[in-house]
Amino acid sequence: MVAASPSRQRSDLETISRSAGPLRRMVARAPTYFAYLRENPAWLAMFVLARTMPARRAHWLSARPARPLPDFPTMFGDIRRSHAVAALRSEGLFSGFLLPAAIREEIVRFAMATACFGNFDRHIEFNPADHRKAEERFGRSILSGHYFERILRCEAAMSVQRDPLLFDIAQHYLGGEAQLITTRLWWSFPTRAATDSDMRLASLDKYHFDLDDWRMLKFFFYLLPVDDGCGPHIYVRGSHVRRALRHQLTPLVGHSAKDVFRFYSAESAVTLTGSAGFGFVEDPFGFHTGTVAKRSPRLMMEIGFGVSPPSRRRFHGEPVVR
């Protein structure tokens, strides 16, 4: 018998935590929960209660008014904050951002020249152009490639993160407490033999809602064109404010499409395709999912806002595992 490497043990643990039954999954994730709890004792109340609509509504009532910003320059031209916030309130989604070509090209150049980490595992490090070779070298399918804190070295990405329009929208939607909680850049790769657990780890093909904070907002940008063959993101409109009781009282955040669309109409699902630079913003308490890239890789950037301070790992979406 061959002993599993530390990296394989780590990803196996995360795999169990995402694919086993609810009880085993919670036991496997216990160290993660304790880490969050140690860091922020208020996390527990959020984790237990923020999935229920009455507790969420009560928390929204505590939102402070947004602080007005003086006139500011933005790279997003004439997008109106009021339109974005109104769409977020009613649908949970607003699309129509477009990154300037120079910014987008610089982020793509950075991503092509910088090694990423496969399947959230820091032991699987490779250049994105060598994805196939990396699958052979590491002997496993690699669905995603994350840059974690390396994104902070990319000045163009930082200029998107600092754009005042994003903060202004976040403040007017979430309240005056809004603060930056995530900045991520990652690839979703077409791969031949991804397992269900790899897919869950990469948030693919399973509708879920995010439970990292009481109130959250995520801006997503496609750095390369995304059509149906490149793993588009899907969002269920209105699901941020309408939730079946069984989806509030469950310990699980992930649910099958069949289960989700027993409650929402199929027409509520929006598949977000777009040209290079296309962006959208969503309330990630609404059901959403990534899909598997079948033909070409997808390069995606996320800028997230919340109302509680993030940890360094969470800032880059890195799972906490022992």
Establish if 288 lies at the interface with ligand AKG (CB under 6 A): yes
Task: Report in angstroms how near the CB of residue 6 gets to ligand AKG at its nearest.
Answer: 27
Q: Given its phi and psi angles, is residue 179 left (phi above 0), alpha (psi -120 to 50 degrees) or beta?
A: beta
Question: How many angstroms separate the CA atoms of 56 and 281, rounded?
Answer: 20
Number of residues near ligand AKG (by CB under 6 A): 8
In the bound state with ligand AKG, the residue whose beta carbon lies nearer, of 43 and 222, is 222
Task: Report in angstroms how near the CB of residue 203 gets to ligand AKG at its nearest.
Answer: 4
Q: Output the DSSP codes for 26-48.
A: HHHTHHHHHHHHHH-TTHHHHHH
Establish if 282 lies at the interface with ligand AKG (CB under 6 A): no
Establish if 191 lies at the interface with ligand AKG (CB under 6 A): no
Establish if 59 lies at the interface with ligand AKG (CB under 6 A): no
Applying CB under 6 A, the span of 37-45, 76-84, 239-247, 284-292 interacting with ligand AKG comes to 284-292
Hey, which residues between 210 and 229 contact ligand AKG (CB under 6 A)?
210
Task: Report in angstroms how near the CB of residue 236 gets to ligand AKG at its nearest.
Answer: 12
Cα separations (Å) of 230 from 188, 224, 316?
Answer: 8, 9, 22
Q: How many CB atoms lie within 10 A of CB 266?
A: 8
Establish if 51 lies at the interface with ligand AKG (CB under 6 A): no
Task: Report in angstroms how near the CB of residue 244 gets to ligand AKG at its nearest.
Answer: 20
In the bound state with ligand AKG, the residue whose beta carbon lies nearer, of 66 and 231, is 231
Which of 171, 197, 203, 239 contacts ligand AKG by CB under 6 A?
203
Q: What is the dihedral of CA 230, 279, 287, 317, to 10 degrees?
A: 80
Task: Report in angstroms how near the CB of residue 290 gets to ligand AKG at its nearest.
Answer: 3
Task: Report in angstroms how near the CB of residue 82 gets to ligand AKG at its nearest.
Answer: 26
The 288-289 sheet, strands edge to edge:
254-255, 207-208, 288-289, 233-236, 269-272
In the bound state with ligand AKG, the residue whose beta carbon lies nearer, of 177 and 302, is 302
145 SS3 class: strand
Which of 118, 128, 145, 290 contacts ligand AKG by CB under 6 A?
290
Establish if 118 lies at the interface with ligand AKG (CB under 6 A): no
Question: How many angstroms separate the CA atoms of 312 and 216, rounded?
Answer: 17
Burial of 117 (0-12, 13-18, 19+ CB in 10 A): buried
23 SS3 class: helix
Task: Report in angstroms how near the CB of residue 220 gets to ligand AKG at its nearest.
Answer: 7
In the bound state with ligand AKG, the residue whose beta carbon lies nearer, of 59 and 288, is 288
- Phi first, then psi: what are they for 237, rounded to 5°? -60, 135
- What the block records as the tokens of 204 is 């693919």
In the bound state with ligand AKG, the residue whose beta carbon lies nearer, of 51 and 66, is 51
Which of 233, 243, 314, 316 contacts ligand AKG by CB under 6 A?
233
The 93-98 sheet, strands edge to edge:
93-98, 278-282, 217-222, 298-306, 179-188, 144-146, 116-118, 125-126
Establish if 175 lies at the interface with ligand AKG (CB under 6 A): no
Burial of 23 (0-12, 13-18, 19+ CB in 10 A): exposed
Establish if 14 lies at the interface with ligand AKG (CB under 6 A): no
Site residues (vs ligand AKG, CB under 6 A): 188, 203, 210, 233, 284, 288, 290, 302
